[in-house]
């Protein structure tokens, strides 16, 4: 107002760079890279910035990860108006002699969950792509049902939780327990949650996990089991009914990059592919049918 002094608060550079900008969506950060050379370097290459951003679940890069006996390769995908930061090979740890990469279980944000092999024994390892710091996970049985999610409840940067689905079979039902590992405590614990499904005759195939930022899913056809790490709740739902006009040769769970919408991709015996996407109000509308 006229006749009054206006006071303007100045935000310190550290707060702006590491306390505000890491919270912004990737599409805005991509635009802010053109503000100055300093901001371009901050958003594209600064490890401190990447570390802060990883705690909010925004991925440094998006692409395909491939395992090799003595290393891991990330091929980034060029997404318009996104960050598209390429990860050099140096972001992945060099393994000691006698240890090889066996399998990649999950890639969530900056965190990579891998299985290493040492003298025919499995070693589970979580590697932070931004900080280049990793941790060995204590051995747990039946870990092929292991999923990874970000833990926003902890103040630690890039906190995470691992959830292992444990299956118990009975004559008329299947019982599912959840073992949870926290990066904050470095310990496994048994969750109070459990699921019991009685329609056991319909089950077929192996259980395949899908890790997202806060929810882990398990494909237990004809059902989809899930555990929300952030809300600490679990449940299950039906997968799309097989009525595409052909038998299912293979099925793969997925999630969209931007909104994390669940997808189910099926390769049919009649050489067609169906793609299903979870609707916001529930249900599985079929979005595409392609013959090849």
pLDDT tens per residue, range 100-145? 877 888 888 778 888 888 888 888 999 887 777 888 998 776 666 8
Count of domains observed in the chain: 2
Q: Say if 224 falls within a structural domain.
A: yes
Q: Report the chain's terminal Cα–Cα distance, integer Å.
A: 69
From CA 122, how far away is CA 93, in angstroms rounded? Answer: 17
Once rounded to an integer, what is the mean pLDDT over residues 248-258? 79
Same domain assignment for residues 211 and 258: no
Among 23-32, 43-52, 123-132, 138-147, name the most confident range.
Answer: 123-132
Q: Greater confidence, 126 or 286?
A: 126
On whether residue 183 sits in a domain, the answer given is: yes
Instruction: Please tell me which residue, 155 or 64, carries the higher pLDDT value.
Output: 155
Same domain, 259 and 280: yes
Give the residue among 212, 175, 213 at the shortest CA–CA distance from 197: 175
Q: 233 and 245: one domain?
A: no
| 228 domain-assigned | yes
225 lies in a domain?
A: yes
**Which of 237, 260, 280 represents a domain boundary (last residue)?**
237
Do 231 and 275 belong together in one domain? no
**For residue 130, which of 161, 89, 94, 91 has the smallest C-alpha distance?**
91
Boundary residue ending a domain (237, 252, 280): 237
Q: Are 168 and 195 contained in the same domain?
A: yes
225 with 244, same domain? Answer: no
8-state DSSP, 260? -
Q: Does one domain contain both 284 and 257?
A: yes
Cβ of 116: how many Cβ atoms within 10 Å?
18
pLDDT of residue 43: 81
Q: Is residue 116 part of a domain?
A: no
Task: Kindly state whether residues 227 and 279 are assigned to the same domain.
Answer: no
* 137, part of any domain: no
Are 198 and 173 in contact, with CB atoms under 8 Å apart? yes
Residue 22 resides in a domain: no
Domain boundary among 237, 255, 284: 237
| Residue 64 falls inside a structural domain | no
Range with the lowest mean pLDDT among 35-39, 171-175, 211-215? 171-175
pLDDT band at 61 (very low <50, low <70, confident <90, very high): very low
Note whether 168 and 223 are same-domain residues: yes
Asked whether the predicted pLDDT for residue 287 surpasses 70, the reply is no
**Stronger pLDDT, 284 or 217, i.e. the higher one:** 217
CA–CA gap between residue 13 and residue 48 (Å, rounded): 14
Range of the domain at 222: 149-237
**Are residue 256 and residue 183 in the same domain, yes or no?**
no
Say which residues have a Cβ less than 8 Å from residue 272's Cβ, sequence separation at least 6.
244, 245, 246, 289, 290, 291, 292
Distance between CA atoms of 180 and 269, rounded to whole angstroms? 38
pLDDT at 252: 85
């Amino acid at each position: 107002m006229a006749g009054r002094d206006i006071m303007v608060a100045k935000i310190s550079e550290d707060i702006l760079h590491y306390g505000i900008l890491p919270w912004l969506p990737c599409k805005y950060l991509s635009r802010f890279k053109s503000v100055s050379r300093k901001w371009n370097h901050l958003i594209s290459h600064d490890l401190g910035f990447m570390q802060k951003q990883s705690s909010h679940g925004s991925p440094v890069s998006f692409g395909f990860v491939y395992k090799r006996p003595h290393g891991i390769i990330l091929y980034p995908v060029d997404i318009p108006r996104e960050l598209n930061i390429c990860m050099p090979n140096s972001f992945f740890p060099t393994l000691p002699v006698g240890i090889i990469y066996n399998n990649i279980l999950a890639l969530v944000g900056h965190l990579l969950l891998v299985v290493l092999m040492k003298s025919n024994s499995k070693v589970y390892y979580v590697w932070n792509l931004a900080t280049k710091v990793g941790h060995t996970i204590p051995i747990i049985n039946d870990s092929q049902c292991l999923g990874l999610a970000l833990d926003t409840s902890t103040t630690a940067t890039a906190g995470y939780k691992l959830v292992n689905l444990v299956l118990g079979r009975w004559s008329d039902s299947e019982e599912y327990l959840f073992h949870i590992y926290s990066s904050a405590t470095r310990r496994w614990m048994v969750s109070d949650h459990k699921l019991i499904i009685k329609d056991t005759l319909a089950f077929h195939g192996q259980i395949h996990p899908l890790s997202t930022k806060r929810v882990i899913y398990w494909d237990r056809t004809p059902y989809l089991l899930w555990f929300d790490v952030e809300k600490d709740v679990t449940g299950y739902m039906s997968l799309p009914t097989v009525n595409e006009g052909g038998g299912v040769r293979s099925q793969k769970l997925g999630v969209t990059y931007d909104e994390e919408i669940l997808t189910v991709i099926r390769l049919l015996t009649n050489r067609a592919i169906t793609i299903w996407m979870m609707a916001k109000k529930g249900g599985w509308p079929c979005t595409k049918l392609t013959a090849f």
